[in-house]
Structure 1
Amino acid sequence: MTTRPSRDLESSRGTAPPESPAEAAPADRRAAERQALEIVRGLVAELQGALAPPAVALDQALERELGLGSLERVELSLRLEQAFGVRLPDEAVMEAASPRDLVRALARAAPAVLERAPEPAPPLGAGVAAPASAATLVDVLRWHAERAPDRPQVILRSADEGERVITYGELWARARAVAAGLRERKLGPGETVALMLRTEEAFFAAFFGTLLAGAVPVPIYPPFRADRIEEYARRQVKILRNAGARLLVTFAEAGRVAALLRPRVTSLAEVTTVDRLAAPAPERPPLRLAAGDPALIQYTSGSTGDPKGVLLTHANVLANIRAIGEAIAIRPDDVAVSWLPLYHDMGLIGAWLGALYFGVPVVILSPLDFLARPARWLRALHAHRATLSPAPNFAFDLCGRKVADAELEGVDLSAWRLAFNGSEPVSAETLARFARRFAAYGFRPAALTPVYGLAEASVALTVSPPGRGPRLDGRVVSCGRPLPGHEVRIVDAEGRPVAERVEGRIEFRGPSVTAGYWRNPAATRATFRDGWCDSGDLGYRAEDELYVTGRVKDLIIKAGRNLHPQEIEEVAGEVPGIRKGCVAAFGVADPAIGTERLVVVAESHETAPAARERLRARVVEQVLAAIGVPPDTVVVCAPRAILKTPSGKVRRAATREAWAAGRLERRPPAWRQWARLLAEGAAARAARLPTRVREVAHGAWVWGFLGVAFAVLWALVLLLPAGRPVDRVVRRWCRVVLALVGCRLRVEGLEHLRGAGPVILAANHSSYLDTLALFAALPLDLRFVFVAKRELL
């Protein structure tokens, strides 16, 4: 692994920066606190539109009371840095709980720096050809490691824009070391290993190390926000239980969270790190895998319900990667950039594994680094003359709105030929804004490439033709045509195909489609019909291209009319005082009127009942004007009340449940969440204690009795004369011993040994009880030699 220093940070020169709060006298420090509060108040006022902003105090909660989430903090960070002439650490802004924390961070902040675009890195040139004959992901990595061990595979770009290069050879070596550590822990083929890791070198080694050991990796997202630790823990417990995870691989800082999870997941034998796992790799060849073996279990984001584990085989993943390469005409000299999380299919398969297969270097940033300073994504594209980069719609919107010209000095985006926009609804307005904003930096509108995919299809299902640019049908954006070898159709509620431009359910099939959900046959049966997979999405086709319009489960049916929640949420979010992107619309069955009631939940900073009532009336007015149907219920609630997935999607079903249970604005402080989780963990341990005591007592009895039994057996063999009598005594004694320790002996196939000469017996799963079992079961006149594992001798 090589390290490249940051090349584009220079201290700002010219006017001296203002004093930071730490450098100021007490009176000036108070003035700085007032100035910081004024900046926070101004941002909150803008978010509320025309409504008067609430008072802002030093100890108010930034998220719970002021509604400043990760996206809003991007703007807040820029304003504070400009006002105080400093550069705030990323974690200081993202982890701050109150304005007082921000003031303390300002006191410790370094002087401002001007981030200039670096000179582009020299091109790496084309790599070796993609391994068309590879049957598994392990085959792919081995292929490149043997033919181009020194070629960069991953370039990890850190917050200060320094870089660490991981080559194919280094990744192969580290993966083998992790696999050796997993084998030492007796991990069996097909068992699951959960990877709760950040965007760091450890993830790549852990993923392939798990595969090399014959196990199945299960990527899950790491903890981030302390104020939602209880929700996070409960969600991860569901995933770990469903996956049946034997091991949880995490990082040292997440040890406390892992300690909360372990007592509540009975299958979890150990929580460890990659450094503790790594062991000297044996000389023997790695376990051979087949194309039909599991490659990973990808848990869906759960925006429409509990997470489900999508089981993907090596054949599924490779089929999708190869089809994507054909659809986008990938080139040997392409370079990719991604900040997408590695626990998400778009970041894991679409960016990393796809690049690995084609021998394309991929520059990877942390999602938090992008959220803190979105311009880092664009500078990374410039620094490597990158040609491929995917992101959700909100990332294009964020860059189009928030990245300042000063952060783009010297940036050249002309090499970016495919800017994939997917993973959430694609906005025509966002695409147009992004193209206008970055045209001066060489970005071509034809590079914008809307796509559609889902975990059940591995990652991608349809892709817009490369180099064409977006195609609109009214306000709906085309997501392109199906990947080669894949089919998409639109059906009605009874499963019958519908005509072009008729909205219906999107179904698909092809070689990259999952065989089903892990340990969830009911969900698998509900999703598949006659070989077609139901996406759960609504859309229509026009000129062989797919237009996605919404989710089936989110569709609201009121008085025979189909209402799309996305449209209602967008309209309500335009009301001044309502937080844009923080609205949930859903239907609730009402037997009294025989149809569904339309409920709209909208977040606002307003707390006064009169102000909230005015907002409620404006939402009703706006929705009625837009769709011709007024909401039956409008709830104006505090910021962060609406539940979302880790990627920011509104969880409408979960929000509906919280609303129905009266829990929308009842989130306890972090310390109470920790206390409750610790208490639940202790209760889980206590509940399992009697079972554990019985297991230990039974184990002690068995091993103690076996020790006596073997001593008696040895004495019988030594004292009695050889021949049939001693054989019969030994045989009966072995059967008594097995019965007393609770081992039921069942023998099949003895007829094959009748009249046989000397035979060699080898156990397919050797244990210390094999000798007892053989003596108890085999015919007395059989001559045999027994072969056992070396470690049993």
Structure 2
Amino acid sequence: MESQNIPPYSDPKQAAHSLLDLVTELAKEVNPDNFDSSTVQLDSSLDQDLGLDSLGRAELIQRTEQQFALTLPSQTLAEIDTPRDLLNAIFNAEQHPTAIKATAEKIELPTASSYPDQVQTLQELLRWHVDQHGDRPHLYVYQDADNVESISYQTLYQQAKIIASRLQDLGIGPGDTVAIMLPTCNAYFYCFFGILLSRAIPVPIYPPARPSQIEDHLVRHSKILQNAETKMLITIEQAKGLSTLLKLHVPALEHIITAEEIEMLSAESVSSEQQQIGNAHPDDIAFLQYTSGSTGVPKGVQLTHANLLANIRAMGKAVGATSDDVFVSWLPVYHDMGLIGAWFGSLYHAIPLVIMSPLNFLTQPKRWLWALHHHRGTITAAPNFAYELCVNKIPDADLEGLDLSSVRHCWNGAEPISPTTMEAFTQRFQPHGFTPEAMTPVYGLAESSVGLTFPLNTRTPRVEWVDRQTMMNSGKAVMNLGGAVINSDKAAADKASNPKGNDDEQQDINALLEHSIPLIGLGHPLPGHQIRIVDPQGRELPERQEGELEFKGPSSTSGYYRAPDKTAGLYHGEWLRTGDRALTMEGELFLTGRVKDIIIKAGRNIYPQELESAVSQLDGIRKGCIAVFASANPKTGTEQLVVLAETKLNDEQQKQKLRDEIQNLSINLLGIPTDVVELCPPRTVPKTSSGKIRRSACKTLFEENKLNAPQRAVWWQATRLFVSSAKPAFLRFKRLAADWGFACYMWLVMALLAPPVWVLVAALPSRQSCWSVARWGARSLIKLTRTKMEITGIDNLPQDDSPYLVIVNHASYLDGLVLLAATGKEHQFVAKSELKENFFARTFLDKLGTHFVERFDTQKSITDSQQLAAFADKPSPLTIFPEGTLYRMAGVHDFHLGAFQIAVEKQLPILPVTLKGTRSILRDKSLFPRKGDIEVIISPLIKPDGSDWQATLALRNTARKIILENSGEPDLARENTR
């Protein structure tokens, strides 16, 4: 406590410290489960960053006046947006204009967090760390399988400055593109930041892995370099011969040089100081991330400094990253998962990054796990195949003494995720300290920097088994096996370890699995980001309905570099297309495949990954070297199902037997035969640098007859294909017609019900009669649209006339109608004041006794809240949507405190009611209703415990926790998802 002889505001620095402590204490009280002390700074937003609504700010001002023994002007409540605003108000209250001008802006506070929250570019980020702890080790780079070299922030910065100076003397300047074709090594990190410090644009590309890839490597990289108009290529000595050929294809390419040659440039040929080129801007392109090309020609994704920092911060918040973590990675640094997720994420959060070459891992997968052991790694990431390699390629003898108990996040992404692999990895390494909760499936893409959805809570992987036939025929995820078979992989493993187990039980499980498709939960959108699933007409689909995945957020690219046509195809209004098919459950993302990879045949959606996975299990087939795709039959013009698989077999009889096995697999798995099975020698199936199958390239090779294999005769299937070709179109039309039919029917029902209901309500003198009519209209709408409404906890509704408040989550404009139909009670609804401007809405709601409150004027909002207290004692409950407004995206947002303050002041109980399903039927800003089910969960009354500020917070937190748990949706406190 400050001295009584010296007012706390007499020293600006001391006053700022005192105020921030006060703000921190209050923000922690208001949001105990979502509090991040790093957000409490002088320029933090009281609303968005700290979660202080109008009542919270009012409480802050009261405590400020008590703390500083002063009286603030009444308009302060409406004027303050940040603690700095309040600090200036403190000085103004004591009339110290000189202090405000000369001292307040120069206040230097100790860093509230160990993270650089205010930096705006990658260059600033590195300089911030150099200033804060330049000698702190940042990178631990494996030079080979055993030797590790550490690089501090200071070393990285100094070496990068040298590179930048020499690049500038070679003519590289702001806006030029410089390609880096280097393996994971010290020079890669120096060169990348050297290019950034020159304000040029790095273009990471991968070096050739083997001689057989030279032609494809040359063709693909020449296209990248042409598109990027690359001025310089930094590469390895072994690739210079190949790189020289690139000059013939890339006119802009002036320099092809190795990192060693840059370092060896004599002092006479370069200047000793970096030229003055100005600072980078947040909206400048930080680097170009060329997509892997698994579905077409590579495209250069433009990622700005603002994009990258937004993504890094959001991922760090989602996983609770701190400088106490240790990231261990073998991921290549020329791809987004290794470059942004591993390196930039570690750089930002001051996390030591232990990194080795991908070759170190691929040759000896155990090295990854032992690096986690030796360095006590807490975070790592890899595609699904890496976990499978660890399961299958590491002998038990190599695991003796291994300890993985330090690992808390094992991200699994970048390719289709197998529930079998996750379960097998967990079982294999659980005896070595690996916890099931550490396995974390995630989803991302280059167009969103890297990350898009992460599980927001620590949990075991979520696997939902849905009915195969329903999914194929209608795209709807209907649960088939339930939770009982989620651990079917474990049952299979138990069976393998106990051959004398129950064969009948195992057969039952296998039979059930044959009729099911596993879908992997990939988490919810990162903070500040949104996703949605749309139909072919671009309208948002309800939950559990498959469609195309779209997203938006601060990490989103502005488009593809020098490709306006491709950029135009990327955008759908303000949303970006992912090219992935997916669905959501309780707001969580579940992928089902690629838009271009989906094969519609015989009226069914065929998912190539599923057949590819099954074929890879056959003896004689090279694992991971199978491509399933659709190709137009040149004779009939219809699509045919093609399986392209690599094998080392040469005997034609053995190969024919393998083709027959693949056919049988397709019939058993999909219910239809394949049209073409092509067996080809090793290294025929093209892949991306990250190991993904390039199905588009496979299709091209097949259609251009470049597989050196004779095409299968198709005369016998021509008639069948011709007849069946109309069925997919018919099913698509049927689904579209059903959607439009329901939407039109629902609007027709509403159009028929609304006029008589409105007229009767407007004309009837008795409020009780008005409510009877309104309730009849709501129930008629639900009944006539055949909407299933399930009510749970109806016995929790109070039966006497004792007053209470009803608190409801807000998901749709249908919420009020559902409450009318479900509870049978007369409610005193609280609605936004904007509705008063509409004659029809005002007339209808007034007759039902609705109270209107202001949402945007802070002072009037508090006045309206205080006036509501006068109505709380009536028998009909005051019914409030504490989120204040509705949102299109699944999730429970912040609850405003007004209703809970009324309950505490009046000592009234609160009835929490949770609505599920209304959002999917009619979303915010949508006029296209969808068929769906509704669930109403009425929880027991909760009573206030006390009469002070803490009691208000406790009541709010309890009610919100109940509704959050019942909704099954993510916690979006302080998230703006509108």
TM category (shorter chain) comes to 0.5 to 0.7
Whether the 8 Å CA contact 1:642–1:664 is kept in 2: the answer is no
**In structure 2, what residue type is equivalent to 1:263?**
L
Q: 1:589 and 2:608 equivalent? A: no
What residue in structure 2 maps to residue 415 of structure 1? 406
> 2:145, 2:360 within 8 Å by CA — same for their partners in 1?
no
- The structure 2 residue matched to 1:493, chosen from 536, 561, 564, is 536
Query: Structure 1 pair 284/235, CA: closer, same or farther in 2 (3 Å)?
Result: closer
Structure 2 counterpart of 1:253: 238
Aligned: 1:574 with 2:624 = no
TM-superposed deviation, 1:157:
1.6
Structure 2 gap ranges (5+):
1-110, 264-269, 466-517, 710-978
1:423/1:388 CA distance change after superposition, 3 Å: same
Once the two structures are TM-superposed, the CA of residue 349 in structure 1 deviates from its matched residue by 0.2
Task: Output the CA distance in 2 between the equivalents of 1:209 and 1:178.
Answer: 5
Q: CA deviation at 1:439?
A: 1.0
Task: Encode CA deviations 1:496-544: one digit per residue, 9 max, x unaligned.
Answer: 1111111110100000000000011111101101111100001110011
List per-residue Cα deviations over 1:688-716 (Å, max 9, x = no partner): xxxxxxxxxxxxxxxxxxxxxxxxxxxxx
**Correspondence list, 1:129-278, <5 A:** 129-278=114-263
Q: Which amino acid aligns with 1:304?
A: T
Structure 1 letter corresponding to 2:697: A
Within 1, Cα distance between the matches of 2:457 and 2:231? 43
Residue 659 of structure 1 aligns with which residue? 702
Q: Distance in 2 between matches of 1:360 and 1:404?
A: 31
2:18 corresponds to: none
Following TM superposition, by how much is the alpha carbon of 1:573 offset from its aligned partner in structure 2, in angstroms?
2.2
**Offset at 1:158?**
3.1
Quick one: distance in 1 between partners of 2:200 and 2:113?
A: 28
What letter is aligned with 1:328? Answer: V
The residue that corresponds to 2:357 in the other structure is 366
Could you tell me which amino acid in structure 2 is paired with residue 642 of structure 1? Answer: V
Correspondence 1:533 to 2:545: no
Question: 1:538-553 counterparts in 2 under 5 A?
Answer: 538-553=581-596
CA distance in structure 2 between the partners assigned to 1:175 and 1:664 by the alignment: 46
- Residue 589 of structure 1 deviates from its aligned partner by 2.2
What's the CA shift for 1:578? 2.1
CA distance in structure 1 between the aligned counterparts of 2:383 and 2:174, rounded to whole angstroms: 35
Cα distance in 2 for residues equivalent to 1:438 and 1:574:
23
How many angstroms does 1:269 deviate by?
0.2
Q: Given that residues 638 and 665 in structure 1 are in contact (C-alpha distance below 8 angstroms), is that contact kept between their aligned partners in structure 2? A: no
Q: Whole-Å Cα distance in 1 between the matches of residues 360 and 616 of structure 2?
A: 27
Find the aligned partners of 1:482 and 1:665 in 2 and give their Cα distance. 45
**1:127 CA displacement:** 13
Contact in 1 for aligned 2:165/2:275 (Cα 8 Å): no
The letter of the residue matching 1:663 is K
* Code of the aligned partner of 2:149: R
Q: 1:253 to 1:287 in 2, by over 3 A?
A: farther
The one-character-per-residue Cα deviations of 1:150-170 (angstroms, maximum 9, x if unpaired) are 111110023332110000000
Counterpart AA for 1:639: P
TM-score where L is the length of structure 1: 0.67
Q: Secondary structure at the match of 1:624?
A: helix
Q: What 5-or-longer segments of structure 1 have no aligned partner?
A: 1-125, 667-793
Letter in 2 for 1:463: F
1:519 lines up with 2:562 in the alignment: yes
**What is the alpha-carbon distance in structure 2 between the residues aligned to residue 128 and residue 271 of structure 1?**
43
- C-alpha separation between the residues in 2 aligned to 1:466 and 1:446? 10
Residue in structure 2 matched with residue 379 of structure 1 by the alignment: 370
CA, structure 1 residues 406+286, in 2 after alignment: closer, same or farther (shift >3 Å)?
farther
Cα shift at 1:466? 4.3
Shift of 1:577: 2.2
Q: Distance in 1 between matches of 2:123 and 2:572?
A: 32
Task: Give the match for residue 613 of structure 1.
Answer: 656
Q: How many residue pairs were aligned? A: 541
* Structure 1 residue 401 corresponds to structure 2 residue 392: yes
Distance 1:281 1:540, change over 3 A: farther
Aligned 1:334-733 pairs, distance under 5 A: 334-474=325-465, 475-590=518-633, 593=636, 595-665=638-708
Preserved CA contact (<8 Å) 1:127 1:359: no
d(CA) in 2 for partners of 1:577, 1:160: 32
TM-score, scaled relative to structure 2: 0.54
- C-alpha distance after superposition, 1:585-617 (max 9, x if no partner): 111124765631111111112222222222112
User: What CA deviation, in whole Å up to 9, does each residue of 1:407-442 have, x standing for no partner?
Assistant: 223221100000000011111001111111111111
Residues 552 and 576, structure 2, Cα contact 8 Å, conserved in 1: yes
Deviation track 1:649-669 (CA, whole Å, cap 9, x = no partner) reads: 111110111112222259xxx
RMSD (CA atoms): 1.7
Distance 2:457 2:644 in 1: 39
CA distance in 1, matches of 2:145, 2:360: 9
Q: CA deviation at 1:250?
A: 1.1
Letter in 2 for 1:345: D
Offset at residue 569 of structure 1 (A): 1.3
Structure 1 equivalent of residue 937 of structure 2: none
Give matches, 1:65-84, under 5 Å. none
- From the superposition, tell whether residues 184 and 127 of structure 1 become closer, same or farther in structure 2 (CA, over 3 Å): farther
| Contact 1:489–1:506 under 8 Å retained in 2 | yes
State the Cα distance separating 1:333 from its structure 2 match. 0.6
Q: Do the aligned residues in 1 keep the contact of 2:129 with 2:153 (CA within 8 Å)?
A: yes
Q: Deviation at 1:251? A: 2.0
Displacement, 1:461? 0.3
Q: Distance in 1 between matches of 2:181 and 2:549?
A: 32
SS of corresponding position for 2:452: strand
One-letter code of the match for 1:498? L
Contact 2:169 2:271 in 1 (8 A): no
Counterpart for residue 68 of structure 1 = none
Deviation at 1:572, TM superposition (A): 2.2
Shift of 1:347: 0.2
Partners of 2:183 and 2:207 within 8 A in 1: yes
The answer to whether the Cα contact below 8 Å between 1:218 and 1:298 also exists between their aligned partners in 2 is yes
Percent identical pairs in the alignment equals 47
* 1:37-76 correspondence to structure 2 within 5 Å: none
Give the counterpart letter for 1:367 in structure 2. P
Q: Compared with structure 1, are the counterparts of its residues 415 and 286 closer, same or farther at alpha carbon in structure 2 (3 Å cutoff)?
A: farther
From 293, 315, 328, the counterpart of 2:284: 293
Q: Distance in 2 between matches of 1:596 and 1:263?
A: 39
Indicate which of 273, 276, 293 corresponds to 1:282: 273
Secondary structure in structure 2 of the residue aligned to 1:516: coil
Residue 576 of structure 1 deviates from its aligned partner by 2.7
Which residue of 2 is the match for residue 316 of structure 1?
307
The change in CA–CA distance for 1:518 and 1:145 in structure 2 (over 3 A counts) is same
| Aligned CA distance change for structure 1 residues 283 and 529 (closer, same or farther; 3 Å) | closer
Q: Relative contact order (alpha carbons < 8 A, sep ≥ 6): 1 or 2 greater?
A: 1
Q: Distance in 2 between matches of 1:372 and 1:491?
A: 42
1:181 Cα offset (Å): 0.8
Cα distance in 1 for residues equivalent to 2:396 and 2:655: 38
Shift of 1:469: 2.0
* Distance (whole Å) between structure 2 residues aligned to residue 539 and residue 572 of structure 1: 24
8 Å CA contact 2:204–2:334 kept in 1: the answer is: yes
Question: Partner amino acid for 1:292?
Answer: D
- Rounded to whole Å, the distance in 2 between the matches of 1:127 and 1:178 is 34
Write the distance in 2 (CA, Å) between the matches of 1:285 and 1:388: 39
How far 1:262 moved relative to its partner? 2.2
CA distance in 1, matches of 2:208, 2:635: 43
User: In 2, are the aligned partners of 1:582 and 1:602 still within 8 Å (CA)?
Assistant: yes
